[in-house]
Amino acid sequence: LERSILELPRIYINGGRRGFLVGIAPGEIVRTLAPRVVDVAIAE
């Protein structure tokens, strides 16, 4: 998970069907899925 995403209030992820998006707080994704948080953005 890109670290800058954690600063957003809500993100939308694929809900498993075409056109079905789920809005969720990034903190909930970290809490439930325990992804590796990385820095992939290019610094300006």
> How many structural domains is the chain composed of?
1
Q: What pTM was computed for the model?
A: 0.70
CB 41 within 8 A of CB 2: yes
Confidence at residue 26, expressed as pLDDT on a 0 to 100 scale: 96
Confidence at residue 44, expressed as pLDDT on a 0 to 100 scale: 73
Confidence at residue 43, expressed as pLDDT on a 0 to 100 scale: 73
For 10, the domain range is 3-33
Task: For residues 20 and 37, give the distance between their C-alpha atoms in angstroms, rounded to a whole number.
Answer: 25
Residue 44 placed within a domain:
no
Per residue in 1-44, pLDDT (tens digit) is 999 999 999 999 999 999 999 999 999 999 999 999 999 977 77
In this structure, what token pair is assigned to residue 20? 């079905």
Residue 39 placed within a domain:
no
CB 4 within 8 A of CB 41: yes
DSSP 8-class letter at 5:
G
Confidence at residue 4, expressed as pLDDT on a 0 to 100 scale: 92
In this structure, what token pair is assigned to residue 1? 């998970």
